[in-house]
């Protein structure tokens, strides 16, 4: 699937009653071989920054699950996720939900839609 097409599909899922992690997971449903119900359940605990604690961005959590299930590179998934986290931080300005949303500063660094896009693109890049 074309990278931007998958990223936009993930954003559409985000607007269809999904949290950011679920949206990223659903964008990879075909490759993951899981039903929408299973992927929604798998990502259900990662909304609003993992467990609604405004911690690690849910989109990044979704990308990590995708990488863990689909990584065939021979490189450990944790090492790939370090790279993805760094790339994501450069694009979004942070990796922690409350920092991205500007909860304490009043200055949003990146929209949730763009976080989903960045996470999907990063996962695709590291899978392909």
Structural domain including 103 reads: 3-127
DSSP summary character for residue 54: S
pLDDT at 100: 96
Closest Cα partner for 91 from 43, 45, 59? Answer: 59
What pLDDT digit, counting tens, does each position of 35-54 carry? 999 999 999 999 877 777 78
How far is residue 106's CA from residue 127's CA, in Å, rounded to a whole number? 35
What pLDDT digit, counting tens, does each position of 58-86 carry? 999 999 999 999 999 999 999 999 999 99
Going by pLDDT thresholds of 50, 70 and 90, the confidence category of residue 102 is: very high
> Is the model's pTM score more than 0.85?
yes
Closest Cα partner for 29 from 115, 113, 125, 120? Answer: 120
Q: Is the pLDDT of residue 125 over 80?
A: yes
Q: Is the pLDDT of residue 19 over 70?
A: yes
- Tell me how long the chain is: 128
7: which 2 tokens?
A: 């990223």
**CB-based contact 24:123 (threshold 8 Å):** yes
**Which residue is listed with tokens 């995708």?**
66
- The number of distinct structural domains making up the chain is 1
C-alpha 112: how far from chain center: 10
pLDDT at 51: 73
**Which residue is listed with tokens 């500007």?**
102
pLDDT at 2: 61
pLDDT at 49: 76
């Amino acid at each position: 699937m074309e990278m931007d097409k998958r990223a936009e599909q993930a954003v559409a899922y985000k607007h269809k009653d999904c949290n950011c992690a679920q949206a990223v997971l659903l964008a990879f449903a075909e490759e993951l071989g899981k039903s929408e119900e299973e992927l929604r359940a798998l990502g259900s605990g990662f909304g609003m920054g993992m467990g609604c604690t405004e911690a690690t961005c849910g989109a990044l959590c979704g990308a990590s699950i995708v990488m863990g299930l689909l990584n065939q590179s021979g490189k450990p998934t944790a090492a790939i996720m370090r790279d993805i986290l760094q790339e994501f931080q450069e694009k979004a300005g942070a990796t922690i939900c409350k920092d991205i949303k500007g909860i304490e500063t009043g200055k949003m660094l990146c929209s949730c839609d763009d976080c989903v896009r960045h996470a999907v693109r990063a996962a695709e890049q590291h899978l392909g």
